[in-house]
A and B are shown apart, each in its own frame.
Chain A
């Protein structure tokens, strides 16, 4: 026991400066960037048409796309955020993992294949299929951009924390410089590589991340005699608190906290199938059957990874201790890198840090191309140019949008430095589930659904979620808020899901029932037949 505690102190002291060797971390990360850039350049030779740029020519297999989905989904939130949350708040952190995983059943059973059969590039393609094009596309593009923005913010915030820990850069200015470098790299990937380059970066990153987590998991278990129970005992001993094994440490303190937890659970399980960057990945495969295969691959990879996070989280609690982690630069987000240092010294830390950077880079790239596609395809080509853009103009607009979004992400990331990333991502899930999911489900399964219902649901869901977040303790009223000085936290819930998701479903129903007009029944027939049979679905591009 004393030995573990000495280790704890050493780790804490090392963490206060920077554990490991910054130059080693930079070298390993530089190697990753160099290798992926070569692959992106090679993959980008055929990026001429919109199908190539947004959907990688629909040429990926189900297995490849499944790995890319896992790469896209296992963001900094999953790796840094969940390991940190388990290490610091115990079992309550694991509840994130379960919600993030079970959510895939909604995507598999209700959305993936039907969406692949009816759409072309974006979520709005499906939502506006049988409704009025202009207003529905504008609404869907708006919700896409907002969700991507929240998600981007979380990833960039994670980058800031990681930098402070790994490169020993403590001051805000130095961190801002590194966030800018990460953002600039991401712009380069997406600009050159389009969806094909982005997908390859995600596949490589998923492989590295899962392999890295597997090595650390086996290592942690080996230290504890391959007994999960012993690991838990050691975690309790180091933490000095047996409650870390039970639910409720974070979310059991009051009735409001319990409700907040339910709200989080709802947002997690319903958010995934409504995340625009996840939905867009289904267009990169040639058929609906391949879309199904990709989800199956993704579920296995993601599920296994989350089991690893349980071991890693308690491993960090046992070997380093919750207090030392919370006190380290980067806070809870630093649990996984600190654990790597504890296990394998500077080399393993360098590897894990490079993987974590790669994770942020790959997810940010995926979000950026989704947001750019939505703006260029839904707003520019379909609304501004009324579906008839000049040849090549749409892709040109998409590329310019990439640069703009990159700059916004860099500025937002510098601003949002420090929040727990798993928590910020949970807000993105809540906004996605409120603004997008009701309209996706209604337009696929409810014949009577109308444009008015879609608009009420999307704007109502988006607006209510954002207003609730703005009035919550996340933004003001507590020392950990974004604006700690102000105090306008009227809503006690820090996740809006439990109010805004049912409200959005209700508004979709109400808007439809009160709508005197009806939609084109021919379009409804076409959508239903196409969604289930795959007639007229977009084929793979032949080069």
Chain B
């Protein structure tokens, strides 16, 4: 078995797929829009929140040093809040991807694979 045997199998079966047509199809455009509509704003918000924290840690020492519970200060709490929001966004994205992205992607993928299988069968019959 050569190094490229594996990919050869999958790519020949899908060699004739008309990718530009699929890319233009409304189903794919919906998937693309749903994906970008989630990941871009959510990631941007997370980065803004992270840099707000970094800037506060650099330039607002007095504020960050304010004790809240005993010796635990705002800096500790904001740091732990970063951990909590990271966990929360992760869970949110997984939920979104399972419910909204995966069904759309699966439908398009199965459509393409069914077409490709049908095409290679007719090719075989013509020979």
Contact = CB atoms under 8 A, between A and B. Distances in A.
Answer yes or no: are A and B bound together in one complex: yes
B42 A109 contact: yes
B65 interface: yes
Interface string B32-49: 100110010011001100
Given A227-B70, A307-B83, A538 B6 contact: yes
B20 interface: yes
A526 B19 contact: yes
Interface string B77-98: 0011011001101110110010
B3 A381 contact: yes
A252 B108 contact: no
Interface stretch (A11-19, A135-143, A257-265): A257-265
A72 interface: no
A461 to B, nearest CB: 19
A27 interface: no
Interface residues of B, number: 61
A248 B57 contact: yes
Interface stretch (A37-45, A100-108, A334-342): A100-108
Contacts of B19: 522, 525-526, 529-530
Contacts of B126: none
A528 interface: yes
B122 interface: no
B43 A120 contact: no
B65 A102 contact: no
Contact of A98 (B53, B65, B94): B53
Given A233-B70, A394-B3, A529-B22, A534 B105 contact: yes
B58 A252 contact: yes
Contact of A289 (B17, B76, B102, B112): B102
B119 interface: no
Given A101-B86, A251-B58, A535-B109, A48 B1 contact: yes
Contact of B39 (A94, A110, A391, A539): A110
27 contacts: A50-B4, A91-B76, A95-B57, A97-B79, A104-B86, A109-B39, A120-B7, A232-B72, A245-B76, A247-B61, A252-B58, A252-B61, A258-B59, A292-B97, A295-B90, A300-B87, A303-B86, A307-B83, A522-B20, A525-B20, A529-B19, A529-B28, A529-B112, A532-B32, A532-B35, A533-B109, A536-B14
Given A232-B70, A536-B17, 19 more contacts: A91-B79, A94-B79, A95-B54, A102-B50, A106-B43, A246-B75, A252-B58, A258-B58, A295-B90, A303-B86, A310-B79, A445-B36, A522-B20, A525-B22, A526-B19, A533-B28, A533-B105, A533-B112, A535-B113
